[in-house]
Every structure is written in C-alpha cells, then in structure tokens.
C-alpha cells in the first residue's frame, strides 16, 4: 500500500493560526501531486474509514460518495452507527489484523464486483434515507427529553434567563439557513423577550 501523511491536521478556520510542528524527520509529503481534495478522493472506487486521534466523523460522507467503504473496527460511534450492518452497508476490516485483513477484503471486492456494488448502493441509501434533518432532529429531541427526566426536581430558572425562540436568530444571510430549520420545528406560540440579544450574550 502506498500510504503517507500529507500534512498535520488543523481545525482552526484561520490558516495563519495553523502551526506545523517542528519535526526531526521528513514525515510529511506535502507536494501538490500527493495531496487529494475530498472531491478527488471520492473519484476512487474504494474508500477507507479508519480512526486517527479520534473518530473520523466522515463516514457518512464516504457512504454517500459512490465509493465502496472499508470500515476498520472502532469503539467510537455516532448515534446512527449501530444501525449500520457489516457486509450490508460496508466492508468490515479488523483493527487487530489490519494489514492482512484489508488486503484480503480488497481482493474479495475486486473479485466480486457485483456484490461489492450492492453493498455500496445499500450504504448510499442508508445515508440518503436515514441521515436527514427529520431523523436527526428526532434523535436530538429524544436526548433532550431523557436529560429533562433526570432533572428531578426541575432545576430552578437562572436569573436573567430567557426562553429561546427562533425570533432571536438574526435576519441576515449568515443565519438564514438555521433560522429556516428552527422555524420548521418550533411551536408557533413560542414567545420571548425581544429586548434580549442572545447572540450578544454568547459573544
């Protein structure tokens, strides 16, 4: 396998704040021909999902990319992952025997192209049909309701606290998408103090 790091990860949205660690070895190959954008990666027939310092959190993108996904065993799950089925939505790869198991599974996929395509399509449908705004919102609602049940007796209201309503979201392009989503699920009777600028409080 031709595998090499192309650069250090950086989650800071401001590129100048990304600091490349000083290393005593030539660990990274950052030449343009080595680094692939996500769009370029999705042009490949097979994709590998494997943890790094945490969960990859890109599995949903791989499943819907049109590529067959090889997913390495991981103890890290998102709420929808228990519904995934190995050999139905993706090809499972053993973490303990990664080097040999991945090669075996790749050869299987190459020799069983029709079955591999069915798995790819099933994974694509899974994301398309399940991971939509409605189901994600329902999951969030269930979590919040379960948390509320643990608050017995109910927690006292904090001083100067206000009820959050969609009307608090600013009317500008930056927040337009989120305000539209908020209004889809909000109780029309939701009212709050118009004098409170919650975003100013959070800044």
Report pLDDT for 203. Answer: 47
Give residue 62's pLDDT band: very low, low, confident or very high (50, 70, 90). very high
pLDDT (0 to 100) of residue 32 = 54
Residue 86, strand partner residues: 90
Domain extents for the chain? 15-132, 159-203
Q: What is the pLDDT of residues 108-141, one digit of tens each?
A: 999 999 999 999 999 999 999 999 888 888 888 8
* Confidence grade of residue 101 (pLDDT, cut at 50, 70, 90): very high
% of the chain beyond a pLDDT of 70: 75
Strands (E), the chain: 46-49, 68-72, 91-93
Report phi then psi at 90, rounded to 5.
Answer: -160, 170
User: What is the C-alpha to C-alpha distance for residues 124 and 42, in angstroms, rounded to an integer?
Assistant: 13
Per residue in 160-171, pLDDT tens?
777 788 888 888
Residue 29, pLDDT above cutoff 60: no
CA distance 26 to 178: 44
Q: What is the pLDDT of residue 149?
A: 81
- Alpha-carbon span 4 to 195, nearest angstrom: 55
The pLDDT tens digits of the residues spanning 42-51 come to 899 999 999 8
> How would you class 123 by CB atoms within 10 Å of its CB: exposed for 0-12, middle for 13-18, buried for 19 or more?
buried
Q: Kindly list the distances between the CA atom of residue 193 and the CA atoms of 7, 167, 185, in Å, as whole numbers in the listed order.
A: 48, 10, 20
Do 146 and 177 touch, CB atoms closer than 8 A? no
Report whether the peptide linkage leading into residue 153 is cis, meaning its omega lies within 30 degrees of zero: yes
Helices 113-130 + 98-111 axis angle, to 10: 100
pLDDT tens track for 2-26: 666 655 555 555 555 555 555 444 5
């Amino acid at each position: 396998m031709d595998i090499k790091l192309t650069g250090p990860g950086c989650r800071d949205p401001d590129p100048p704040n990304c600091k490349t660690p000083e290393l005593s070895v030539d660990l990274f190959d950052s030449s343009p021909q080595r680094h692939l954008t996500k769009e370029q990666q999705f042009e490949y027939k097979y994709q590998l999902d494997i943890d790094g310092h945490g969960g990859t959190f890109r599995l949903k993108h791989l499943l819907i990319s049109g590529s067959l996904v090889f997913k390495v065993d991981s103890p890290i799950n998102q709420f929808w992952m228990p519904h995934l089925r190995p050999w139905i939505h993706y090809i499972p790869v053993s973490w303990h025997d990664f080097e040999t198991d991945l090669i075996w599974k790749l050869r299987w996929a190459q020799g069983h192209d029709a079955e591999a395509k069915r798995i790819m399509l099933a994974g694509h449908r899974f994301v398309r049909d399940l991971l939509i705004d409605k189901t994600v919102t329902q999951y969030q609602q269930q979590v919040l309701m379960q948390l509320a049940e643990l608050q017995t007796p109910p927690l006292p209201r904090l001083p100067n606290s206000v009820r959050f309503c969609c009307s608090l979201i600013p009317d500008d392009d930056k927040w337009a998408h989120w305000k539209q989503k908020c209004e889809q699920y909000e109780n029309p009777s939701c009212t709050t103090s118009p004098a409170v600028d919650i975003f100013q409080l959070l800044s």
